[in-house]
Structure 1
């Protein structure tokens, strides 16, 4: 049973978190959103933004922050941000699970530092998947932060068998909370069900906002979890996920005909391919295509 906590928060994590946070905070003055002129009926806010694929995580976090700001300004209340954490060219599973989550924690802090002004930190609640990650976060990536740190689930004696102690989300929030950010809720299938509960009990009917950060929601969208064994997730895919606005997204496809599905709100969804060090747009559309459509139809025909 001890193995699960090791997988979540690696004891062997010896790298300098201070140095990594400094790298994440790097200068962002050189990163800018290019706005191009448009004409005709398609001259909407979506087509006016031409965001280039990021060259590093510093630029990615700047773009994600800018996309979030625009979505919040447009009144979006339920937001999704998704990108690989091992490297900008990686896919889920490329890195060891515990290390991926550690990188996600560091990137979550970098994103929060950019998005949330100092006067709003005590009104922002960051939810980690499990209770034991809160203490680890306070000792590492979130050391010195005044952000409120919380959790979705609490491990039980039967954690090895997938059982956790249910936490009533209405009891976790406070009246002064304005923004919730849920960090990487994908290790246990129950975590996204709790996120839906948080949204229904603490966001709907209020001015609060909820951001899902690296939740690997494509697993649910693509039917990775068989509906027969995970009926609640099947319902979630039809009732909860369609409410999301995916404001920033990167998904890599490997292979000879590989490429990238990329979006930065309010721009369109783009399928890119790297050619000679330059990212070339192969396809563009307003609605999110399925990963199957990109892999089997768009990329092979480009």
Structure 2
């Protein structure tokens, strides 16, 4: 496996500039144009070769991952997203911690979590625009949240060419839904503002990114994708889908079939799920604390990463298909030498009767295996 180029860079001295000789005065216009076309063709071939080399590097996976900043995370996510779109994939997922681990979810400050996701989504849109020239639309859960983001991040949105913003409220609704929506708008004081039509475009978006949605919003996302993004890529961005899936089927939430029918179609193109563990042993230090992550950078394989003392993550296992959290934990225990004997009572007591969730077990009900690949 090749090391991640964005995590470790070699400093090189720039080569001395070379003088470009001027064409001879006798060179005819036709000859000059011909030489210009050859140069342009050569530059295109070099660019294509560099792109293929970058994709090949991603396909090999990483041995050690230690991004220096969120800028590197965003760059890696954008590169993987671009590679997946080039491969013709249209249902995509990006998942990584938007904040430091102590407040990396709604368990911390929800406003900080929401605002961090907006900033990161804008950064991915910006990088994807540079890579592919893609016109993107960021879709918020509702109109009030869209307007709040427009007010806070107005300057950042203005700096990205071709971007538009929308909300799940843009879906056409029946008279009953319209009535309740009007009540909600009134109670939320959801009045129009100067930014209402600021980022509308005459050209349709080439990519939709859904952010900050809850379990209840997933059914609306499915309708939105069917209505507006049936033939263009759609990205579920940092929705913590595994947490949302656990609510499916409960009273007041969408049924489990939503995963089998819709969520199973989404390929994770950049995925980092960190976990902290501890294990009791019979000798000093008696309790061993360790951390790891399930990692995927498209088109590379799924990898189990063990966190090192310097904060980097080292690959200890990889697979063409997605690891369950139980499988990932077993791989971490194996490499640490803490795994119980296979079939022993201790192994059964640790793992229990079930070692996977309902959405990880039921292969036959899935419309697509894409979320595992």
Judge same fold: TM > 0.5, yes or no: yes
Equivalence map 1:121-270=2 (5 Å): 123-143=135-155, 144-145=158-159, 146=161, 147-153=163-169, 157=183, 176-186=204-214, 189-204=215-230, 206=231, 208-221=232-245, 224-225=246-247, 227-229=249-251, 232-255=254-277, 256-270=289-303
Note closer, same or farther for the CA distance 1:227–1:105 as it changes in structure 2 (3 Å cut): same
Rg larger for: 2
Contact 2:103/2:109 (<8 A) preserved = no
Per-residue CA deviations over 1:38-81 (Å, capped at 9, x if unaligned) read: xxxxxx98753437522321110010011011000000001100
Match in the other structure for 1:79: 92
State the Cα distance separating 1:245 from its structure 2 match.
0.9
Note closer, same or farther for the CA distance 1:93–1:148 as it changes in structure 2 (3 Å cut): closer
1:96 to 109, 114, 132: 109
Matched, 1:106 2:119: yes
Distance 2:122 2:63 in 1: 23
Query: Gaps spanning 5+ residues in structure 1: where?
Result: 1-29, 35-43, 160-171
2:6 to 17, 31, 54: 31
Structure with more strand by fraction: 1
Length-normalised TM-score, structure 2: 0.58
State the Cα distance separating 1:117 from its structure 2 match.
4.2
Matched, 1:282 2:316: yes
What is the count of residue pairs matched by the alignment?
244
Per-residue CA deviations over 1:60-105 (Å, capped at 9, x if unaligned) read: 0010011011000000001100111112686534521111111111
Match in the other structure for 1:41: none
SS in 1 for 2:108: coil
Match in the other structure for 1:6: none
Contact 1:81/1:248 (<8 A) preserved = yes
Note closer, same or farther for the CA distance 1:291–1:118 as it changes in structure 2 (3 Å cut): closer
State the Cα distance separating 1:298 from its structure 2 match.
2.8
Per-residue CA deviations over 1:172-230 (Å, capped at 9, x if unaligned) read: 998723211111222xx2211111112222333x2x11111111111244xx2152425
Length-normalised TM-score, structure 1: 0.70
SS in 1 for 2:256: helix
Match in the other structure for 2:344: none
Query: Gaps spanning 5+ residues in structure 2: where?
Result: 10-55, 171-180, 186-199, 278-288, 336-373
Distance 1:220 1:99 in 2: 19
2:71 to 49, 58, 61: 58
Distance 1:284 1:131 in 2: 42
State the Cα distance separating 1:258 from its structure 2 match.
2.0
Distance 2:89 2:240 in 1: 20
SS in 2 for 1:282: strand
RMSD across aligned positions (CA): 3.1
Per-residue CA deviations over 1:114-155 (Å, capped at 9, x if unaligned) read: 11249957x422101121122222222242245211111486
